[in-house]
Structure 1
Amino acid sequence: MTTGAELAERTENLPDPPPENVTPDARAEAQQSAAALRSLLEPVRTRIRVAQILQVIASAATVIPFIGIVELGRTLLGDGAVDTGRVWLIVWVVTAGLGARAFFSGLALAVTHFADVDLQAILRRRITAKLSRLPLGWFTRTTSGQVRKATQHDVGELHYLVAHADVETTAAAATPLFALIYCFVLDWRLGLLAVATLPLYAIAYAWMVKDSTEQMAKMNAALARISSTIVEFVSGVSVVKTFGQTGRAHKAFVDAADEFNDDFAGYVGPMLRIEALSMLMLSAPLVLLVNLGGGYWFVRSGSVDPIEVLGSTLVALILPATLLTVSMAMYSRREAAAAAQRLVELFDLPELEISTTPSVPQGNTVEFLDVSFAYPGDAAAAEVRALESVSATLHPGTVTALVGPSGSGKSTLATLLPRFADPDEGAVMIGGVDVRDIAPEELYRHVGFVLQDVALLGVSVADNIRLGRPEAGLDEVIAAARTANIDDRIRQLPNGYDAIADVDAHFSGGEAQRISIARALLSDAPILVLDEATAFADPDSEAQIQEAVARLMVGRTVLVIAHRLGSITHADNIIVLDGGRVVETGIHAELAGGDGLYASMWRAYLGGTSHRDEEIAGKGVSE
C-alpha cells in the first residue's frame, strides 16, 4: 500500500485538479447531465408517461393472484362444503388478472420500444444535420472515434433508459405499493411486518450513495490518468525500447495504478461491507423469518388468520426484487445522463454561419483582407493567436506558396479559404464576394483542396473519386484517375473501380493521395488549396504524385502550403509567414537572394537536401 507521503508526492505531478475540487464540479456536471437528459427525452416524454400509466394498471393486476390465493384458501379451508362456483370464479379472476398484467405490461414496453426507435432516429438525424453545419476545421480537430461514439455509442446508451427504465421503475414502485395496500387491508400488523426490513436497507443504501458522485469522479480521474500513461507509453514504445528506458517508462503507469488501487480500496472496502449488510436485510431467509415468525405470533394471539399470514409473506418476498430493479434503473440513468451531456455538447457546438441571401463569386481572384484568427482556449489556457492582419491577393492562373516556420500560420491561413473556420477579423474574398456570403455548395464548386491527411470512405473506389462530383459518369471518373496516375493501380484490383476501400482494396499513403487528386480533378474547381502532397510520400509514389499535382494545377488559382522549399521555387508569388504575420512576399529569386527569413530557410534547406531534392528544386511546382 502507498503511504500518505508517497501519495502526496505523486499527486503533485498529476495534471488533474486536487480531490477537494471534485465535489462541486461533479455535482455541477451531474446537474448539467440531468438537464441534458431531460431535453433529449422531450420528443418521447408523452409516450413514456402513457407507458407508465399502462404499467400502473399492470401492477394493479399483479396483486390479483395474491388476493386470489388468500380467498381460495379461505374458501377451501373454511367450515362446511366447498363452494365450487366460488372456487371457479376465483380461478377465472386470477387468470384474468395474470392476462391483464401480461397485456398491459407488454403494451407499455411496446410503447417505450417504439418511442426508443423514434428517438434514436430523431437524434441521429439531428447529429447528421449538425455535422453538416459544423465548420470543416472541427473535423480536423476531432477524431473519427469521437464522431462514432456520439452517433452510435451515446445514442445507444439511451436505449435502456427509454425502452425499459421508466416502465420497470414504475413497476418496481407501483407493484409493491398495491401489494402493501392489500397487506394493510388484511391487517395493519401484517403490513408493517412486510416492510419491517426495508428501513434498515434504506439507511444502509443512503450511507453507501452519499458520496458516490464525488467518488465516481475521483475514480474516473484516476482511470483517465492510467489511460493517459498507457497511451503515452505505447506511442513512444519504440523510443523507450531503443534507449533501454522500459522500466522508467513503466513507472508513470505503476504510480497511477498504485494510486488508483489505494483510492479504490479505501472507498470500496467499507462500502462492500455495508452493501453486504444492506443486502442481508432483503434476503429471502430473513424476510421469511420476520414475516412467518411475526405472523405466527399474531396467529397465536388470534389477531389474524394463517392464510392471511401466507398472503402477506408472499407479498413481502417480492419487495427485494423490485428494489434491485430501481437500483439498476438508477445506474442506467446515470450512464444515459452522461451520454446525453456529450450529445448536448455536440448539439451546442457553434455552427458555420450560412447567409440567407447568398451571392455568387464573379471570377476566381482570391483576396485575404486584414485577416486575423485565434484558436479558442479552454479553462486552462488562453486563446492562441494564429494570424494577425494578413493581407494577400491570389490572381487567377497563378501559384501562390505559403512558407514559414512550424506554427507560423500557413495551414490556418490556407484553410480559411474553404471555410474550415472563419476569421475573427477581416475577410476572405472570392471573386469580390466574402466566403461567408457564398452558399456552401457554391463555395465548394469554386474551391477544391488536396490535403496530406487523405480520408477514403468505405464505399467503392469510383464513389470515393465521385465525391468531387457525384453526378459524374464512370468514364469521367476513369479519366480523372488516369490523369492522377492511379488508373493502373485501380484496374489491378479484383473488382476494379467497384472495389470497396479498406475492404476489397487497401491503398498506400501515396496511392490514397492520388485518389484524392483524382477527386479534385473531377470536381474541376477553379481554385485549389494544396497541402504539399509529396511532403511525406514514399519514393515510389513521389514522382507520380508530383506529375499528377502538376496536371491538377494547370490554369487554376492555386494556394500551396509549402513544407519543402525546393518544390515552390517557380511559384508566381511566395508569402512568408512568421508568428501569424506576413514578413516577406516575392518570387524565389528575389527572396533567396535577400537577407530575410526566407533566405535563411533556403540556406538551411540546401544544407539538408538530397540529390533528388535538388532535382525537384530545379523543376518547381509550376511544371
Structure 2
Amino acid sequence: MTLPVSEPAAARHAAVALVRDHPGAFALTLALTALSTVAGLGAPYLLGRIVDVVQVGGDVTWLALLIVACALAQLVLTRFTRHVGGRFGERVAAAVRERFLERVLALPAALVARVSTGDLTTRATGDVSTVAATLRSGVPELLVAAVQAAFVLVAVLVVNPLLGACGVVGLFGIVVVLRWYLRRARSAYLAAAASTSRLAEVLVSTAAGARTVEALGLQRRRIDAVVAAIEDSRTHVMRTLSLRTVLYPVLDVSAVLPLVGILLVGGALYDDGVLGLGAVVTCAMYVRQLTGPLETLSIWLEQLQSSTASFARLEGLVAVHEPRPSAPATPAGDRIEVSGLSFAYTAGRDVLSGIDLRVRPGEHLAIVGPSGAGKSTLGRLLAGLERPRVGSVTVGGVAVADLPPDVLREHIVLVTQEQHVFRDTVRGNLLLARPTATDDDLRAALHAVGAHWVDDLPHGLDTELGRSAFHLDAARAQELALSRVVLADPHTLVLDEATAMLDPTAARSAERALAAVLAGRTVIAIAHRLHTAHDADRIIVLRDGRLAELGTHTELVNSGGDYADLWRTWHGAGAAT
C-alpha cells in the first residue's frame, strides 16, 4: 500500500496557509525586495539621462554619483532581502518538517503497518529534504526574481510604451513553454518520486531479508527485482529530463529576444527622430536586467517542480487519518470484550470470523493455534492496531480502535520482539511513554525491569543512544522498551513472543524483566511456543480464523481436541498434562 498524494488545489491551499502563518516575515521580504528592485531601476534610468546630457554637452557628475548611490543601496538592500528571505524560508521549512512528523505520529498504527516502507521512508527523508531546501533558498530567490521582473516590465512600459510592448512580446515564448512544461511536470515528477519509493522498498526489503534470500537461494530473483526497479526509476527520471531539454533552450532564447526587439525598434525610432537615444538606452538596460530573474527561474524551476511534487506527497498524509470520535467516551473499567469479530486484510477473505470473547481483569490468557490461524491478527485487534470489519473489540465498553493513542496506551499495550531505540538520550526514549515522569520515575521504571546498567552509563539518563553513540544490545534494548511499559502503566498487556528473537542468555534476562512488568496486570499472550500457554489461566485455540476451543490447559488436553493434538506434537505422544 502506498500513501495518497494531495490534489493540486489542496496543496496550493496548504502552501498559502504556511505563508499566512508567517505574515510578518513574508511582508518584510516583499518590502525589502521592492525597495532593492526600485534601487536597481535607478541606474538604467540615470544612464539614459547621462546619454541625453552628453549629447547636449552638459555635466554628468551628479548623475554618475547617483548611479553609485543606487548601486550601493541595491547592494545593501539585496543583502538584507536575502537574509530575511532565508530566515523566512527556514521558518517555513521547519514548519513543514514539524507538521509532517506530527502527521506521521498521528497515523493509525494499522495503516503504518500496511504502508510500503519505501514510500514512507522516502517521504520522511527525500521529500522533506527537497521541500526544505527549496523553501530555504529557492523560494526567496524566486520571490525576488518575480518582483524584479514585474518592476522591470512596468518601468520599460513607463519609459516608452512601444518599446515596453516589444519587450513583453519578446517574452511570449516563455509564457508558452512554461504552460507546456507545467502541464506535464507535476505528473512526471510525482511518477519519478513514486518510482524512487518503489526502488527504496525493493532495496530495504532485500537488505532486511538478506539471510532469507541467501538461505533460499533467491539472490538472482532479488537482483532482477532491484534491476527492474532501477530501470523503472531511470525511465521516469529521463522523462523529467526530456521536459527540461525543451524548456531550457526556449528560456535562453527568450531572454535575448526582448533586448533584440527593443534595439531594433528603438534604433528605427531614433533614426526617425521619434525617440531620444537616452530612452532607447534606458529601455535596453531595463530589459537587460531581466537576464537575472530569468537565470534564477531556469536554475530553480526544475527544483521547484520536484519540490511541488514532494510537497504534494507530504500533504497527502492529511487524507489518510482514519476518523475517530471527536470526544471518545472514557472506558468504564478494564474488562475487554470481543463480540462477533470478523476481520480481513483484503476484501472477500476473512482472516478471523465470528470471534466472541470476554477477558476478565487480571486474567492471563494464551492464544494458540497453527501457523496462519490468525493469532497475531487477533492480538493486534485486541491492542487497537486494527479495526474489525464486523463486530467490536471494547475495553470498559468503549471501542478500542476509537481511543486516541495516548488514552489507548493507558489501557492496553502490545509488546513484541521488535523494540526500537530512538537516537536520543535514555531520558528521551523513556519520556515517550509518560512525558510528565520525573527522573526518579524513570530510574524506578528501569530498576523495576532489572535495567541497573543505567547507573553505570557515562552520563546516566542523559547518555545518547544509537549506533554512533552508546549502543544497547538486544537484551538492554528490550529492557528499555519494557521500562516504557512500566511508565505507561496499562492494565492490559498483549504479548506477541516478546523474547522470541533473542539469544538464550538475553531471552532469560528479558523474561525476568518481563515478569516484573506482568505482575498484577491482565496478560494476553500470543503463544507461538506452547510452554507459554501451560501456566495461563485460560487458553484460546484458533483454527482457520475461528475460535475452536477455550479452557484451561488441563481441560483442553483432556478434551482431546486441537490443543491436545498440538500439545502432543510439541511434547511427544506420551506427554502428560
TM-score class, shorter: 0.7 to 0.9
User: Counterpart amino acid of 2:338?
Assistant: F
Q: Which moved more, 1:399-408 or 1:198-207?
A: 198-207
3-state SS of paired residue (2:291): helix
Cα offset, 1:544, TM superposition: 2.0
Partner in structure 1 of residue 321 of structure 2: 350
The residue number in structure 2 matching 1:167 is 143
Letter in 1 for 2:53: T
Deviations 1:396-426 (A, max 9, x none): 3321011234444333333344433454554
Aligned partner of 1:393 among 346, 354, 358: 358
Q: Which residue is equivalent to 1:457?
A: 422
Q: What are the equivalent positions in structure 2 for 1:137-176 lying under 5 Å apart?
A: 137-138=110-111, 140-141=113-114, 145=121, 148-149=124-125, 153=129, 156=132, 159-160=135-136, 164=140, 167-176=143-152
How far off is 1:566 after superposition? 2.1
Counterpart of 1:63 in structure 2 is 41
The answer to whether structure 1 residue 589 and structure 2 residue 565 are counterparts is no
* Corresponding residue number in structure 2 for 1:556: 521
CA RMSD of aligned residues (A): 4.6
In the TM superposition, what whole-angstrom CA distance separates every residue of 1:487-511 from its partner, at most 9, and x where no partner exists? Answer: 2x44554445543222542122232
Q: Does 1:282 align with 2:260?
A: no
Aligned counterparts, 1:418-567, within 5 A: 418-423=383-388, 425-431=390-396, 435=400, 443-461=408-426, 464-465=429-430, 468-469=433-434, 477-478=442-443, 480-487=445-452, 489-502=453-466, 504-567=469-532
**1:196-255: CA deviations, max 9, x gaps?**
754455556666666444544555565556555555654565566677775665444545
- Identity fraction in percent: 26
1-structure distance, mates of 2:225, 2:401: 48
Query: What is aligned with 1:9?
Result: none
Q: What is the rounded CA distance, in whole Å, between the counterparts of 1:423 and 1:230 in structure 2?
A: 33
Q: Which moved more, 1:581-590 or 1:407-416?
A: 407-416
- Relative to structure 1, the CA distance from residue 374 to residue 108 in structure 2 (aligned partners, 3 Å threshold; closer, same or farther) is farther
Q: How far off its partner does 1:445 sit?
A: 3.9
Q: Per-residue displacement from partner, 1:589-621 (whole Å, max 9, x unpaired)? A: 33345454434443444479xxxxx9xx99xxx
Amino acid at match of 1:339: S
Task: Report which of the two structures shows the higher radius of gyration computed on alpha carbons.
Answer: 1
- Cα gap change, 1:382 to 1:115, in 2 (>3 Å): farther
Quick one: distance in 2 between partners of 1:95 and 1:504? 56
SS at the partner of 1:400? strand
SS in 2 for 1:545: helix
Shift, 1:321, TM fit:
2.7
1:178 aligns with 2:154: yes
Please tell me the residue identity of whatever aligns with 2:567.
W
Deviation at residue 177 of structure 1 after TM alignment? 0.7
Matched AA of 2:245: L
- The within-5 A match list for 1:256-335 is 272=245, 275-276=248-249, 279-282=252-255, 299-300=270-271, 302-328=273-299, 330-335=301-306
- Work out whether residues 367 and 541 of structure 2, in 8 Å CA contact, stay in contact via their aligned partners in 1: yes
Q: For residue 549 of structure 2, give the secondary structure of its aligned residue in structure 1.
A: strand
Q: Is the 8 A contact 1:165 1:332 kept in 2?
A: no
Structure 2 Cα separation of the partners of residues 468 and 401 of structure 1 = 26
Instruction: State the shift of 1:69 in Å.
Output: 0.6
Tell me the amino acid that sits aligned with residue 542 of structure 2: L
Q: Which residue of 2 aligns with 1:367?
A: 337
1:77 to 51, 55, 58: 55
Residue 68 of structure 1 aligns with an amino acid whose one-letter code is L
Equivalent residues of 1:483, 1:548 under 8 A apart: yes
* Cα deviation 1:120-171 (Å, max 9, x = unaligned): 5655665565566544445555668468449953762562489515622432
| Paired residue total | 571
SS at match of 2:501: coil
1:66 Cα offset (Å): 0.8
Q: Distance in 1 between matches of 2:361 and 2:19?
A: 52
Match of 1:611 in 2: none
Question: Is the Cα contact below 8 Å between 1:299 and 1:305 reproduced in 2?
Answer: yes
* One-letter amino acid of the structure 2 residue matched with residue 366 of structure 1: I
Contact 1:194 1:313 in 2 (8 A): no
Closer, same or farther in 2 for the Cα pair 1:462/1:287, shift >3 Å?
A: closer
Equivalent AA in structure 1 for residue 45 of structure 2? I
Pair 1:43-2:43 in alignment: no
Q: Tell me, what secondary structure is at the counterpart of 1:282?
A: helix
User: Unaligned regions of 5+ residues in structure 1, if any?
Assistant: 1-14, 17-24, 376-380, 609-613, 619-623
Alpha-carbon distance in structure 2 between the residues aligned to 1:351 and 1:204:
41
Q: CA deviation at 1:324?
A: 3.1
Q: Distance in 2 between matches of 1:325 and 1:246?
A: 47
Q: 2: distance between equivalents of 1:263 and 1:462?
A: 45
Counting only pairs closer than 5 Å after superposition, residues 110-121 of structure 1 correspond to structure 2 as 115-116=88-89, 119-120=92-93
Whichever residue aligns with residue 282 of structure 2, its letter is: G
Q: Which moved more, 1:176-185 or 1:475-484?
A: 475-484
Aligned-partner Cα distance in 2 for 1:97–1:483: 72
Q: Structure 2: how far apart are the matches of 1:345 and 1:383?
A: 28
User: Measured at CA, do residues 44 and 239 of structure 1 come closer, stay the same or move farther in structure 2, by a change above 3 Å?
Assistant: same
The letter of the residue matching 2:56 is G
3-state DSSP class of the match of 2:520? coil
Contact 1:447 1:525 in 2 (8 A): yes
